[in-house]
Amino acid sequence: DAGVIQSPRHEVTEMGQEVTLRCKPISGHNSLFWYRQTMMRGLELLIYFNNNVPIDDSGMPEDRFSAKMPNASFSTLKIQPSEPRDSAVYFCASSLDSYTGELFFGEGSRLTVL
Amino acid sequence: QQPVQSPQAVILREGEDAVINCSSSKALYSVHWYRQKHGEAPVFLMILLKGGEQKGHEKISASFNEKKQQSSLYLTASQLSYSGTYFCGTEPPITQGGSEKLVFGKGMKLTVNP
């Protein structure tokens, strides 16, 4: 079985540009999570979907960030406009059902905003 | 609230033991442990759900003291492959106003040398 697939793996962009990160969860998993990892703050939960519905988006930093899950096999995290402080590794993770079990992380998307 | 992990970093020689602590200021429903190797995604180690429960994974075991709101990860006879950053994630009980949200600590960096 393929794991969680994220793209792009690396993204370098200039301040003000729009960034879209993509995630394909493991087939059959009902929950999907977007995390951001930085040295200063560690792993932060941005948003959590269950059955394609956003359950908790309290971690989304500001209106520049948005996330969608149009179907069970695809999610996007968009930053518009991007800023240098958004530079981080963004992980997508999926699980069978919420936090009752293991989170399977993708390999991450490393974003650098110049 | 983000759990506090201690120590922040440890350097061991192969074969030595280590203990990683995770504590929360709030009541806990569960504690999750993950290991992340440099440049890779976090990988699940174990979940502890009940007070005093102990679980094992190869030579890695953990305990969870629900009353003290603490968990400890025990690494016995460490191997080179144990090097990485260890994260604990804590989940509050929903009945106590928790948001069913897994919050990760900042991690403990373990280096195992030959």
Q: What is the pLDDT of residues B90-101, one digit of tens each?
A: 887 765 544 557
Task: Give the three-class secondary structure for B81.
Answer: helix
Task: Classify strands A109-113 and A10-13 as parallel, antiparallel or unpaired.
Answer: parallel
Q: Which two tokens stand for residue B79?
A: 């191997």
The pLDDT assigned to A71 comes to: 95
A98 vs B10, which has greater pLDDT? B10
Residue B57 has pLDDT above 70, yes or no: no
**Cβ contact A98–B41 (<8 Å):** no
Q: How many residues in total does chain B contain?
A: 114
**Cβ contact A56–B100 (<8 Å):** yes
A31, A4 contact by CB (below 8 A): no
DSSP string, A26-74: PTT--EEEEEEEETTTEEEEEEEEETTEEEE-TT--STTEEEEEEETTE
Tell me how far apart the alpha carbons of residues A108 and A38 are, in angstroms, rounded to a whole number: 12
Hey, is the C-beta of B105 within 8 angstroms of any chain A C-beta? yes
The pLDDT assigned to B18 comes to: 94
Hey, is the C-beta of B66 within 8 angstroms of any chain A C-beta? no
Chain B residue nearest residue A38, CA to CA: B106
User: B46 to chain A nearest CA, in Å?
Assistant: 8
**Candidates A49, A55, A99, A104, partner chain B, best to mutate (most B CBs within 10 A):** A99
Query: Which of A27-41, A49-63, A76-90 ranks highest by mean pLDDT?
Result: A76-90
B24, B90 contact by CB (below 8 A): yes
Question: What are the beta bridge partners of residue A89?
Answer: A37, A110
How many C-beta neighbours within 10 Å does residue A78 have?
A: 15
**Cβ contact A105–B43 (<8 Å):** yes
Q: Which two tokens stand for residue A67?
A: 């996330």
The percentage of chain A sitting over the pLDDT mark of 90, rounded to a whole number, equals 80
The pLDDT assigned to B56 comes to: 64
Task: Give the three-class secondary structure for A97.
Answer: coil
